[in-house]
Structure 1
Amino acid sequence: MEHNKRKFVRFYSNLEKNDGNKKKGIEFPLPVFKMGTKLESESKVDSSQEQKNKRILNPESERILRWNRVFLFSCLTALFVDPLFFYLPSVIHHNRSSCMTTDFNLGIVVTVFRTFADVFYLLHMILKFRIAYVSPTSRVFGKGELVTDPKKIAERYLKSDFCVDLIASLPLPQIMIWFIMPAIRSSHADHTNNTLVLIVLLQYIPRFYLIFPLSSHIIKTTGVVTKTAWAGAAYNLVLYMLASHILGAAWYLLSVERHAMCWKFTCRREFSPMKCHLDYLDCGTLNDVDRRIWEVNTTVFSQCSPDEDFVFNYGIFADAITKNVISSRFLQKYFYCLWWGLQNLSSYGQSLETSIFIGETLFAILIAIMGLVLFAHLIGNMQTYLQSITVRLEEWRVKRRDTEEWMKHRQLPQDLQERVRRFVQYKWLATRGVDEESILQGLPTDLRRDIQRHLCLDLVRRVPFFAQMDGQLLDAICERLASSLCTQRTYIVREGDPVTEMLFIIRGMLESSTTDGGRLGFFNSITLRPGDFCGEELLAWALLPKSSISLPSSTRTVRAITEVEAFALRAEDLKFVANQFRRLHSKKLQHTFRFYSYHWRTWAACFIQAAWRRFKRRIIAKSLSLQESFSLTPEKPVAEEAEQEEEGHSTPRSSYSQAKQNLGVTILASRFAANTRRGAQKLKDVNLSKLRKPDEPDFSEEPDD
């Protein structure tokens, strides 16, 4: 059965049509292949290609971004380590003479750190063979297409940056210090290490060059080199300090070079009392007998003193000789050289007094140019980063100042000015000057919906009216909610004004009052707290199948008692959400709306109060009716008593007048009862109009097509 379910296609050759039965002739059947499958060789090739592509890394991935930041830090460390080779030559004072030597202990320590930095360069070279690149021909639209073919990636890298990376990663200083210099130590007297300096400079240029494309790639990927403003300011400060470190190390090396040049110049001119040999300037010959005799009688060291300007002018390097910087311990001479570089780089070399030596003058010119460029670029960037921390605060200060000037110019009353100040201050405390709506509008719809759901869902669920809705409707509501801030004693809406939005309170309290359209003797006031809402007239308007363009009028005046934070649903957004409500067909939602609507609560309270008053009027009318029916009962005993008292004294005429008087009292009582009933009836008829019943939100009616 499983074999029959599969689809097969058979290819034939030499097909012929048969006109009689329209059947095709078959002569040579070809192989049978399954539909949707590939040949075994093709599948193996594809699988191997997929495995190779999996090893290729995306240049914009988070992993590569983290590596680029680590490699950038290692590059800065390497740029810091390399100038330390300039501190290897030093001067040692021995008795009355001096000599030059090389600090091999410092060289070993520096080469160890240099080796660790070289490992990062090597790893970066290996990683570049696995990093894809964007095809230049695909950049017409969008980000472009990544090239993941390992051969093309390797070919492109070998043609572009491979030579620069290779030169930067070669361990040439290590070879020079560990192998070459110890081998020629005994026969070489020139300890200025010109070869080592040239090697370091040869590798320093490509290493310095690698920082620019690396930082440029990080900026293209993330927009900034560092994630925070403080880190950006620190990064630019480190670059400035690195330049000062390089400048100080170069100044130290040139100082030793100038001092050695003076010794050589004077040594070549000294022939008596004993000829000076250049080997005597090396500390390796301190135990030589001829050198000991020479150092007693020589004038080389006294003539090369910075005080003897007529023999040799040290220029800007005089401080290194007079203050014994070239013969101090490493930390002492390092920090002094760092200070010298930072001082002259910051002052553009204005305090330098150079000699007429061309190399010294060019070095001073280089200091001035570097100071100007670095101070303008790095310190300018540092200032920009630091200002970005307080840019919002500065904008708020400028806006507050403009507001104060505008209020004074318009001569606003003091109470209005105070209200404006409170609102500006409260808005700053709540938002810190960030326009949240503009940020959200620049994001994709799906991402904006998820952010709004994260920010608003828990707060929206606090509103009991929304707690009855499903997730889809809550998402629609959260997507269209906008934050609203109100200061104390601010009127949100007044009775009779159009209702433009529906507010859902998150924090604070509102006072909602009504006079039922200005009716005399009627006033109702309630307090809205977190979880309550106002502006429900807008919901009833939005739920109408054919709602008018004009917005409904507010039946209540809403005023902020305290500072209020709320979410607002505007009329057009509420219209869309209301269309979703109509699909619920839920009586429970309708009853929930009635229960939590203070408009309905007010109407219900007035309805109950009116019913109670009608009940009281009926009780009063019934009581008056009973009094009318029994109005003659109290008068009868009085009349009989009067007749008995005057029975023997009254005349027939007085009996007639007494009966007439009793009849008049009865008529007056009847009229009084009738007037009382008519007054009660008139009071009922001329009663003021009842409070209008709120509009019933229709949650089930579908709009007419």
Structure 2
Amino acid sequence: MWAFIGLRSAADLFYYADIVWFYIRLRISPEAIGPWIRDLRIRELHKLLPLLPRIFVALPFPQVVLLTGKYTSFDNFVFLIFFAPAQYTLRVYRGYGLFKRAPNTETGIGRWLRAILGFLPFILAAHLYGALWYHLSLQRELDCWFYACLDATVGCDLSQTFYYFYCGTETYFDNVLLNITHIKASCPINPPNATIFDFGIFLYALQCNLNSPNLGKKFVQCFWWGLRNLSSFGSNLQTSLYMLETFFTVLVSISGIVLFLIYLNSRVQISKQRSDQRKLRHKMHMMNPDIDLWLHKNGLSDQKLKEVIMKNLHQKLEEHKEVDVENILSLLPIIHQRRIMCRLSLNLLRNVAMLENMDEQVLIAICERLKPVIYTEDAYIIREGEPLDKMLFIMQGTAWSYTTSSNCNICGSASGSSNIKCLERGDFYGEELMNWASKLTSLSEFPISTRFVKCQTKVEAFAIRAKDLKGVVTKFWWHFSKGFESSQLEQLESLAISSLRAIRCRRHARARARTG
């Protein structure tokens, strides 16, 4: 007994530590629970509510039951039937939840552990119901003995036998000899007699002599009884008219059905997950050549970049999001998108006459505002006579740039003087927009397109809108000041003042961050 109390108390230390750790977490981060509650008293009560199940789980019920049974005549039946199973269930629930989050099903060990966890609820429930069956069997035999003592022909005094039935320590009866022959005759077990006393589902436990000190025998038999009847939904149990026995049998049957449904649902979910994983791997395998082709066309042979793309592709497919393989950049986070776009378009920007000798900081700012666009074959990108609201940099495909104001000639180069020009990879259109933005002119002087731009094939390009280009010029106005006219001096002065204020605000913010 003392060995059990010591081992059980040592196991309880983990639950005591959990209570202390949870309480410390509440003190360290009080806003984690109930941040919306204004009343301090209700807030404190709301904080302590999660502690209640932890305290209940840590209570030493079995130790108390053993000690009260040994040194007093206290009837511990209610504690063993109700409180101990409830505590055991809560402990199993919390422990099972932690174990279930641990395994990674992608590994071999994880798959085995997941399979074991699928059967774990059956095993734990079988252990619980087997222990209850064992305790109720002994209690049922004690009930029979009490009924026998009520019969005057048996010849036992209930007041004298009470402590012997419960292994009490009443010193007055330590040396009293009790003849139990008549009591056992009134409670026949082997062979049983249901007309005298019907033990129902507890008869097998008494016939197997489970009240012997052999712990291994008791443990195995009780576990087997629980597992067998849970798996058969209690269909083989022949009960007596004892109400608690009937209730216990119903509970076994319902628990078996619920556990089976839980296990069946988990297997269906696992099967669905595996099917989804197979479909996901197939989709990624089908998209892999397109990604390799895109990387090759753009001269991006970095293996780490491909790993980032595949990782984000896997995540989007898992979340059942639409994936546009034609727009590979959409598969990447914003940081990676900007980095790749800067890498691809930095040299393209230097092809623009105004940006040829521009500071790299300005070019990076323009790159960060570029947007990837895709146009289908024969689609019009820009029409003649419409406002030129974007500047275009061709990355893949071919587009025609032409005008209807004169006769159309055959396709020429981007730098030629013919009416029809071919815009291919590395070419751009809309330099007039750059000239307009660099002069800080008003919207009334907004450039109008003098040419049509039409796709000959599918075109992938980077585009920057007029307002974004204007924002870059406003931010880095001193790099474009050579193109400003004398009439714009007041505007330049206001821009300079705004820039100085922004620099001063940033310095103050950094200083506050360091001192704070």
Q: Distance in 1 between matches of 2:401 and 2:236?
A: 83
Q: Does 1:144 align with 2:44?
A: no
Gaps of 5+ in 2: 292-308, 323-329, 351-358, 383-389, 415-423, 437-445, 492-516
Residues 196 and 375 of structure 1: CA distance in aligned 2, closer, same or farther (over 3 Å): same
Q: Distance in 1 between matches of 2:367 and 2:318?
A: 17
Sequence identity percentage: 17
Q: Give the secondary structure class of the aligned counterpart of 1:553.
A: strand
Partner of 1:431: 313
Partner of 2:202: 317
1:368 aligned residue (249, 253, 256): 253
Alignment of 1:322-471 (within 5 A): 322=207, 327=212, 329-330=214-215, 333-334=218-219, 337-338=222-223, 340-345=225-230, 347-373=232-258, 380=265, 387=272, 391=276, 431-432=313-314, 434=316, 451-454=333-336, 456-457=338-339, 460-461=342-343, 464-465=346-347, 470=360
For 1:195, the aligned partner's letter is N
Q: Distance in 1 between matches of 2:393 and 2:51?
A: 64
Residues 550 and 386 of structure 1: CA distance in aligned 2, closer, same or farther (over 3 Å): farther
Q: Distance in 1 between matches of 2:70 and 2:17?
A: 25
Residues 228 and 513 of structure 1: CA distance in aligned 2, closer, same or farther (over 3 Å): farther
For 1:113, the aligned partner's letter is A
Residues 199 and 384 of structure 1: CA distance in aligned 2, closer, same or farther (over 3 Å): same
Q: Distance in 1 between matches of 2:223 and 2:450?
A: 75
Partner of 2:12: 114
Residues 365 and 460 of structure 1: CA distance in aligned 2, closer, same or farther (over 3 Å): same
Shift of 1:253: 1.8
Residues 390 and 361 of structure 1: CA distance in aligned 2, closer, same or farther (over 3 Å): same
Partner of 2:138: 256
Alignment of 1:501-580 (within 5 A): 534=425, 536-538=427-429, 540=431, 543=434, 545=436, 546=446, 548=448, 552-553=452-453, 557=457, 569=462, 571=463, 573-575=464-466, 577-579=468-470
Contact 1:236 1:379 in 2 (8 A): no
Gaps of 5+ in 1: 1-102, 137-142, 219-224, 401-420, 441-447, 485-491, 525-532, 560-565, 590-698
Q: Distance in 2 between matches of 1:503 and 1:344?
A: 74
Q: Distance in 2 between matches of 1:183 and 1:436?
A: 61
Shift of 1:195: 1.3
Q: Does 1:174 align with 2:63?
A: yes
The alignment's C-alpha RMSD in Å is 6.6
Partner of 2:305: none
For 1:465, the aligned partner's letter is N
Q: Distance in 2 between matches of 1:550 and 1:349?
A: 87
Q: Distance in 2 between matches of 1:550 and 1:393?
A: 53
Shift of 1:360: 1.0
- Greater CA deviation, 511-520 or 461-470? 511-520
Residues 328 and 511 of structure 1: CA distance in aligned 2, closer, same or farther (over 3 Å): farther
**Per-residue displacement from partner, 1:421-464 (whole Å, max 9, x unpaired)?**
96699689782372699989xxxxxxx9x951145425743655
Shift of 1:356: 2.2
Q: Does 1:201 align with 2:201?
A: no
| Count of residues in Structure 1 that have an aligned counterpart in Structure 2 | 405
Contact 2:201 2:237 in 1 (8 A): yes
Contact 1:304 1:311 in 2 (8 A): no
Contact 1:498 1:554 in 2 (8 A): yes
Shift of 1:358: 1.4
Alignment of 1:5-24 (within 5 A): none
Residues 314 and 306 of structure 1: CA distance in aligned 2, closer, same or farther (over 3 Å): farther
Residues 321 and 226 of structure 1: CA distance in aligned 2, closer, same or farther (over 3 Å): same
Residues 376 and 515 of structure 1: CA distance in aligned 2, closer, same or farther (over 3 Å): same
- Using the size of structure 1 for normalisation, the TM-score is 0.41
Partner of 1:407: none
Q: Distance in 2 between matches of 1:543 and 1:575?
A: 8
1:183 aligned residue (71, 78, 82): 71
Rg (Cα) greater in structure: 1
**Per-residue displacement from partner, 1:78-101 (whole Å, max 9, x unpaired)?**
xxxxxxxxxxxxxxxxxxxxxxxx
Q: Distance in 1 between matches of 2:102 and 2:365?
A: 32
For 2:253, the aligned partner's letter is A
